Amino acid sequence: MSLIVKNPGPLTTVQDAGRFGHQSEGIRPAGVMDTAAFAAANRLVGNAGDEAVLEMTFLGATLTFSADTWFALTGAAMPATLDGAPVERYTPVKAAAGQTLACGLAASGCRGYLAVRGGIDMPLVMGSRSTDRSARLGGFEGRALKAGDELPTRPDDGWTPTPLRCAPPVYTGAIEVRAIPGPQDDYFTAAGLETFFSTPYEVSTDSDRMGVRLEGAAVESVRGTDIVSDGIVFGSVQVPSGGKPIVLMADHQTTGGYAKIATVLSLDLPLLAQARPGDTVRFRRITAEEAQALYITR
C-alpha cells in the first residue's frame, strides 16, 4: 500500500502535529503550518489521532494510489482531479488502486493538505513523522518529496465515511489575527506598539515555513531589538533591527535573539499559515486571559 509521487510540486512534505519534548535539545517542532486544515483532513477520513498528512505549497502534487484508499483534501483551494474527474475538497473520496490524483495551483490560500485513511505511515522519529528539513529529520528522509518517492500507507480497513462534511474556509487575503503583547513588548515605544497594532502589513515573498515576513511601517523600539536569546513558540512575533515584524511559524528555531513584541493567538495561526505574498495582515490586541477563555471554549 503506497502513494507514489509522480510530480511533487514545489514543496510537499510529510507533516503531523509536530515533534515535541526535545526543544530543550535544540530540536524544533516542525509539523503542519495549518493545524485547522490538518485536523479537518484527518477527521474527514475518520483518523482518530494526529496522523501524518502531506502538506503541499501553492502548487499541489500529482500522486498515484497503489491500492483502494480513502482520502480528503483540505486547506488551500487547489483544484484537483482523480483520473481527470474533478474532486471535491473537504469531503472524503475513495480512490481505486492505480488512480492518479492531480492537485493544481491554489486559487486561494497557500497550503493544501492531503490526508489518507490510516495516515502516511512513515517511521516515527522522536515521536513524530514531521519533516524537519533543516535537521534532515523525520518525514520522508528528512526532505521535501521528489518524483518517484513511495509513501507507505495503511491497508483499507473497510471503513466507510459518515455523511458528515465540513464547509471549506474562505481565504480572503485580508487577514486579521489577535495577538497577546509580550514577552518583550517593553522593548518598544508606545508609538511602536501603536504602529504594530494599528497599521496593516503586507506578506512578503520571503515568507516560508519558518516565518511569515511582513512589509510595512517599521515598529519603533526603545533602544534596538537585540536581546539575550530566549525561547520561541509557534506564533512569536519577532522584530529584527529593521523594524519589520516576522511571525515565527511551524519551522521556527527553539531560541532566538530578537525582541518579541507579541504572540499570535494559537486559534488564529491557521490564517497566517494560508497567507500568500501580498496579503494584508492586521494585528488586534488581546490579553492572555481573554485568549485562554477563547481557547477553552473553542
Partner 1 sequence: MADMKILPAGDRALVAEFSDVISEDVNRRVNALKRALLAENIAGVREMIPTYRSLLVEYDPAVIALPALTERVRAADPGDVPATAEQRRVLTIPCCYGGKYGEDLKDMAAITGLSEEEIIAIHSATEYRVYMLGFLPGFVYLGGLDERIAAPRLKTPRTSIPAGSVGIGGNQTGVYPMASPGGWRLIGATPVAFYDPAREKPALCEAGDYIRFVPVSPEEYERLRKEGGAV
Question: What is the binding site for partner 1 (CB under 8 A)?
Answer: 20-27, 125-126, 134-137, 180, 182-184, 227-233, 235-236, 253-256, 260, 263-266, 288-289, 291-292, 294-296
User: By C-beta, is 185 or 202 nearer to partner 1?
Assistant: 185
Whether the CB-CB separation of 47 and 118 falls below 8 Å is answered with yes
67-97 in b/e form (b: 16+ CB < 10 A) is eebbbbbbbbbbebebeeeebebbbbbbbee
Report in angstroms how near the CB of residue 224 gets to partner 1 at its nearest.
Answer: 12
φ, ψ for residue 210 (rounded to 5)?
A: -80, -40
> Please, which residues bridge with residue 247 across strands?
212, 237
Helix, strand, or coil (residue 79): coil
User: By C-beta, is 231 or 278 nearer to partner 1?
Assistant: 231
Report in angstroms how near the CB of residue 28 gets to partner 1 at its nearest.
Answer: 8
Report in angstroms how near the CB of residue 60 gets to partner 1 at its nearest.
Answer: 30
Q: How far is CA 237 from CA 67, 138, 171, 215, 293, in A?
A: 44, 27, 22, 13, 21
Report in angstroms how near the CB of residue 280 gets to partner 1 at its nearest.
Answer: 22
Which of 101, 99, 76, 75 lies closest to 87, judged by CA? 101
Whether the CB-CB separation of 288 and 180 falls below 8 Å is answered with yes
Report in angstroms how near the CB of residue 259 gets to partner 1 at its nearest.
Answer: 10
Neighbours of 162 (CB within 10 A): 9
Report in angstroms how near the CB of residue 291 gets to partner 1 at its nearest.
Answer: 4
User: By C-beta, is 19 or 276 nearer to partner 1?
Assistant: 19
> Please, which residues bridge with residue 112 across strands?
56, 75
Report in angstroms how near the CB of residue 152 gets to partner 1 at its nearest.
Answer: 20
Which of 166, 172, 176, 198 lies closest to 267, judged by CA? 176
Query: 81: part of which helix (H) or strand (E)?
Result: strand 80-82
Please state the length of the chain.
298
Task: State how far the Cα of 117 lies from the Cα of 67, in Å rounded to an integer.
Answer: 12
User: By C-beta, is 23 or 204 nearer to partner 1?
Assistant: 23
User: By C-beta, is 36 or 72 nearer to partner 1?
Assistant: 36
User: By C-beta, is 51 or 268 nearer to partner 1?
Assistant: 268
User: By C-beta, is 57 or 184 nearer to partner 1?
Assistant: 184
